Chains A and B, each alone.
Chain A
Amino acid sequence: MKRFEEKWTAWLDDQLSGRELSDFEASLPDKATAQAEKADAKKLGELLKRELGAHALTNDEFFNHQLREKIVQENRGSSKIPTSTWWTIPRLLWAGAASLAIFLIFTFAVMQEKNPAEESQYLTQILNARVDPVVSPNASVSIFEVKQDRVTVLWTEGLQSLPADYAAK
C-alpha cells in the first residue's frame, strides 16, 4: 500500500521513468482518470507553489517588519528610560531655578555696567579750565573723578610757586 502511494506521488511528480513508469501505468485501473488526477495535481501544485511562494515573500517582509518593529521598540525602550527620568518635576524645577539664576546674574551685570554711567552724573564735572599763560606759561590741568570717594579733582601742574608767607590766613 505504502509502496503504491510512494509510486503514485512519484508518478504525479514525473519522477518515474523506464520500466518502473510502464509497470506503474500498467497497474493503474483507469489510466485516463489517473492522468486527469495528475493534471489536477500539477495545477494544484503550481497553484500552491505560486501561493506559497507569495506567502513566503510576505512572511519574509512581515518578519523583517516585525524584526524592525522590535528593534525600534527596544531602542525606544532603552532611550525612554533616561528621557523619562531626565525631565522629572524636580529636574524641571532645577532647570527653572538655574534659568532664573542666570537671568538674575545677567541682569545684575547689566545694571553694574549701567551704574557707573549713572553715577558719573552725580559726580562734579569740570566743564572747562584755564590757567593764565602769562603768569604760569608751563601750567597744565588734569581732571580726576575719584568715584570711590565721589570727589572730582582738578589737578594743576606748573603753577607759579609762592613763598611760605602766602599761606597766611
Chain B
Amino acid sequence: MSVAPALQAAETVWSGLVMAENVSQPQPIPPELIRIEGLLKRFFGYDQFQVIGHSQKVLRTGQEDWLATSKFFGLHVDARGERQGGYVLNLKLYKEKELLLETEAKLSKRSPLVIKGPQVGGGQLLLVLVVQ
C-alpha cells in the first residue's frame, strides 16, 4: 500500500524566499506568486514582491528534503510523507547558520503556505510554499 502515495506523489513543490517592499515603481510579480498576489498585497501591505531564492522539488516518495537559499537566508524543507491530500513538511529558516524559525505544516496541494519572516531593511522577508 505504500506504493500508491509514491506513484501519486510526482508533484512539484515550489519554495521561495520572497522580499516584499514598497517602491515607487514596483516590478511585476513573479509568475509563481500570481495566484496569491491579491492576498500578499492585502495581507502584508507591500506592492513589490521579488524572489531572492527558490527551489522547485519534484516529490516522488514524499520523503525528500531540499534547500532554498539566498545570499544570507536558507530555507530547509524536510518532507515527512503524504497525508490526507497534503505533505507533512518540517521547515527551518536560517539566517546564515542561525536558526530563526522552525515549523511543521501539512502543505495542502490546493493551498499555499506563506510565512512572515524577519524585517529586512524597509521590507519583509516572506517564505512561500506552493504545490504546483
Show the binding face of A for B, using Cβ within 8 Å. Answer: 121-132, 135-136, 141, 144, 146, 149-156, 159-169
Contacts and interface: CB of A to CB of B under 8 A. Distances in A.
Which 8 pairs between the two chains have the least Cβ-Cβ distance? A164-B121, A129-B103, A159-B118, A161-B119, A168-B71, A149-B39, A127-B104, A124-B111
Interface residues of B, number: 44
Given A130-B101, A132-B99, A159-B100, 12 more contacts: A121-B84, A126-B105, A126-B113, A130-B103, A141-B103, A151-B36, A151-B114, A162-B121, A164-B121, A166-B72, A167-B121, A167-B123
Contacts of B115: 153-154, 156
A161 B114 contact: no
A154 B104 contact: no
A159 B114 contact: no
Interface in B1-22: 19, 21
A149 B44 CA distance: 14
Given A123-B111, A124-B111, A162-B120, A136 B104 contact: no
Contacts of B55: none
Interface string B25-53: 00000000000101100010000000011
B72 to A, nearest CB: 5
Nearest to B21: A167
Determine the main DSSP class of B at the interface with A.
strand
B118 A127 contact: no
Interface in B109-132: 110-123, 125, 129
Given A124-B108, A129-B101, A166-B72, A156 B117 contact: yes
B94 to A, nearest CB: 10
Nearest to B99: A132
B100 A124 contact: no
A149 B36 contact: yes
A155 B66 CA distance: 23
B77 interface: no
23 contacts: A124-B108, A128-B104, A130-B101, A130-B102, A131-B100, A146-B39, A146-B43, A151-B111, A152-B105, A154-B116, A156-B101, A159-B117, A161-B119, A162-B72, A162-B120, A162-B121, A163-B120, A165-B121, A166-B71, A167-B121, A168-B52, A168-B70, A168-B72
Given A122-B85, A169-B70, A162 B118 contact: yes
